[in-house]
Amino acid sequence: MPYGWYRGREDNVNKFDLRPDASGGFDFMVDGKFVREMVFADEDLIHQNITLLRRGIFDGAIQEQLSALKGELPGKFFPERVWLYFCPQCYDEGCGGVSVNIHVGVEHVVWSDFRYDGEADTVEESQWFEEEDSVKGVGPFTFDRAEYEAALNRTADQLSRAGAAFWRSTAELDQVSLGLEHLVSRRKQRKSPLDPKEGLQWTIDGRPLWKILDEAGEKTTSQICTMQSSLRNSVVQEQDGDFVEQGRNIIRILLGEELGNEVSHRVPLFVGASLDILSGAITTCVQRHEQNVIWSDFRIHRAGSSGDVLRYSPGLIFTFNRQQHDAVLKRILESV
């Protein structure tokens, strides 16, 4: 049984910590070993799930995760089960990942029953999991509660300071990568036919842009939260014939082909299920420069009124290498 010897030190209490790992985020460490490497020992690194504890995730999502790890918030689907590792593309529990049962006592915290997890479609935990979902040979682990919470608080402080720098201004950011790709939850693929409109999504460094906007909206107004939930379809579609050319025109604008001498232009990125821009859209201001392209000033436009808009935080800005940005768009333009 691999990693069975990690079950505890002689005093039956494991050493807990968090440290940066190869994915660019923080991973949990038990007795000096990354838990991610224990759980995914037989998988290629590129396919491994990752933690939510990383720069670029909004503070609210990080704080919820830390509170769940401390036992202060119930798990997403079952009260004592907390996600540790998430899909690296969307960070959505419903897409599958790894969860653990966390019990917080007066002096100790116990992690047990590691499982490959997904969105529950039954009400009882015992009816949901199958034997093959269990992660063999990892845990249970017992931690000193004071040491455990100190490590979480220390990581929270580091992420808070890094997050402030990350979102403050593009001058301090590394450039990010643009993508427009099929991102479909593995669970959706198993359970139901794919709606082709759901499969093509804008991504920033591999993460769905709609997910980033969701988190940004949660920090602004309830109106944005309500409206953005219905605007998750990309304006660029591979099917739905009447709207294919609309998407091609949007790509041309992003490439600067329709701008003439203008440096910037407002461009729709997301629309509702009807795919009609006039029925509501999320837009961004695109600025094209010699070396880079900047997306900023994200807005939600209500149906039927070009002047009635809701604005996201002005700090939501993405800077792309122009060559990478344009190469992605040209590839998509040739394929749709």
Element housing 223 (H / E): helix 222-228
- Which of 143, 168, 193 is a domain's end point? 168
Residue 166 phi, psi dihedral angles, 5° rounding: -65, -40
Tell me the pLDDT band of 163, cut-offs 50, 70 and 90.
Answer: low
Mean pLDDT across 304-308? 59
pLDDT at 187: 45
Tell me the pLDDT band of 63, cut-offs 50, 70 and 90.
Answer: confident
The two structure tokens encoding residue 13? 């209490």
User: Are residues 307 and 281 both part of a single domain?
Assistant: yes
Residue 321 pLDDT exceeds 70: yes
Distance in angstroms (rounded) separating the CA atoms of residues 111 and 135: 13
- The crossing angle, in degrees rounded to 10, of helices 59-69 and 209-218 is 80
Element housing 155 (H / E): helix 145-168
User: Are residues 31 and 160 both part of a single domain?
Assistant: yes
- Which of 168, 199, 221 is a domain's end point? 168
User: Are residues 164 and 205 both part of a single domain?
Assistant: no
Instruction: For the chain, give the percent of residues with pLDDT over 90.
Output: 21
Residue 9 pLDDT exceeds 50: no
Tell me the pLDDT band of 94, cut-offs 50, 70 and 90.
Answer: low
User: Are residues 253 and 143 both part of a single domain?
Assistant: no
| Mean pLDDT score across all residues of the chain | 77
Residue 227 pLDDT exceeds 90: no
Tens digit of each residue's pLDDT (9 = 90 or more) over 180-224: 876 554 444 444 454 544 557 888 877 788 888 888 776 566 667
pLDDT at 202: 87
Residue 135 pLDDT exceeds 50: yes
pLDDT at 89: 66
Residue 166 pLDDT exceeds 60: no
- Look at 335 and 16; give whichever has higher pLDDT: 16
User: Are residues 46 and 85 both part of a single domain?
Assistant: yes
Residue 276 pLDDT exceeds 80: yes
User: Are residues 60 and 202 both part of a single domain?
Assistant: no
Mean pLDDT across 26-34? 93
- Which of 142, 168, 194 is a domain's end point? 168
Residue 323 pLDDT exceeds 70: yes
> Is 231 in a helix, a strand, or coil?
coil
Distance in angstroms (rounded) separating the CA atoms of residues 302 and 279: 7
Tell me the pLDDT band of 275, cut-offs 50, 70 and 90.
Answer: confident
Distance of CA 322 to the CA centre of its chain: 24
- Of 189, 215, 213, the closest CA to residue 202 belongs to 213
User: Are residues 190 and 140 both part of a single domain?
Assistant: no
pLDDT at 164: 52
Contact of 306 with 282, CB cutoff 8 Å: no
Query: How many domains does the chain contain in total?
Result: 2
Q: Picking from 107-111, 215-219, 228-232, 295-299, which range would have the lowest pLDDT averaged per residue?
A: 215-219
Which of 26-40, 150-164, 211-225, 305-319 has the highest average model confidence (pLDDT)?
A: 26-40
Distance in angstroms (rounded) separating the CA atoms of residues 155 and 151: 6
Residue 296 pLDDT exceeds 70: yes
Q: Which domain holds residue 287?
A: 177-335
User: Are residues 9 and 48 both part of a single domain?
Assistant: yes
pTM for the complete prediction?
0.51
User: Are residues 26 and 127 both part of a single domain?
Assistant: yes
User: Are residues 118 and 186 both part of a single domain?
Assistant: no
Mean pLDDT across 282-293? 89
User: Are residues 144 and 124 both part of a single domain?
Assistant: yes
pLDDT at 3: 35
Distance in angstroms (rounded) separating the CA atoms of residues 197 and 171: 35
Distance in angstroms (rounded) separating the CA atoms of residues 265 and 286: 5
CA distances from 196 to 11, 92, 96, 200 (A): 55, 20, 21, 8
pLDDT at 116: 82
At 271, the amino acid letter reads V
